[in-house]
Amino acid sequence: MEPTFVTWALVVFGAITLLPLFLAQSSMLTRLDGRKTRDLIIGEGEEWRDRTHSRIALGAAWADWLFFLPMFVAGSVGMLRGHAWGYALFAAAGACSLYINIILWFTEKEYVYPTRGPLRYYTYYWGFFVYWGALALAYGVLRIAGIEL
């Protein structure tokens, strides 16, 4: 299961999409109520809507750092080394990204979309996570099934 151009493209697209998220979350894990953290996570000059909002974001940050990031990294390394388990982990990371961002579509759109506008919302703030997740899931499943792209 040698990696192809598509393999490399999805790993790079995933890294470009996820790196800023993980960096913002690292700020959150170290300084939950810091101004820089709020600017990065909820928008410049914005405040947490309530305690639940900040706690859900904190829980998501911990889950991403303890579960999602290792799965993405291990899956990427495994794929690039040509292992079937790498494609399985990469597909699982894609499923996680797709799952949480479908939830965020319904819970955060009314707050994020008006302040960011359609271009930013449908690219970085929501879209890229869905696009990458769907592509990573489909690609991993297809490669495990023996289809080379």
Q: Helix 69-80 and helix 5-30: axis angle, to 10°? A: 160
In a domain, 135, yes or no: yes
Q: Give the pLDDT score at 130.
A: 95
Indicate the residue type of 131: Y
Handedness of CA 82, 83, 84, 89 (dihedral sign): negative
User: What is the pLDDT at residue 125?
Assistant: 79
In the chain, the number of structural domains is 1
Q: What is the pTM assigned to this prediction?
A: 0.89
Q: Is residue 30 part of a domain?
A: no
Does residue 41 sit within a domain? no
Task: Tell me if 132 is assigned to some domain.
Answer: yes
Residue at 68 is within a domain: yes
Q: Residue 52: inside a domain, yes or no?
A: no
Residue 105 near residue 126, CB atoms below 8 Å: yes
Domain containing 11 equals 5-24+62-144
- Over its length of 149 residues, how does the chain's per-residue pLDDT go in tens digits? 899 999 999 999 999 999 989 998 999 999 888 888 888 887 778 888 888 888 988 999 999 999 999 999 999 999 999 999 999 999 999 999 999 999 988 888 887 788 778 898 888 878 999 999 999 999 999 999 999 88
Residue 136 lies in a domain: yes
- Whether 149 is in a domain gets the answer no
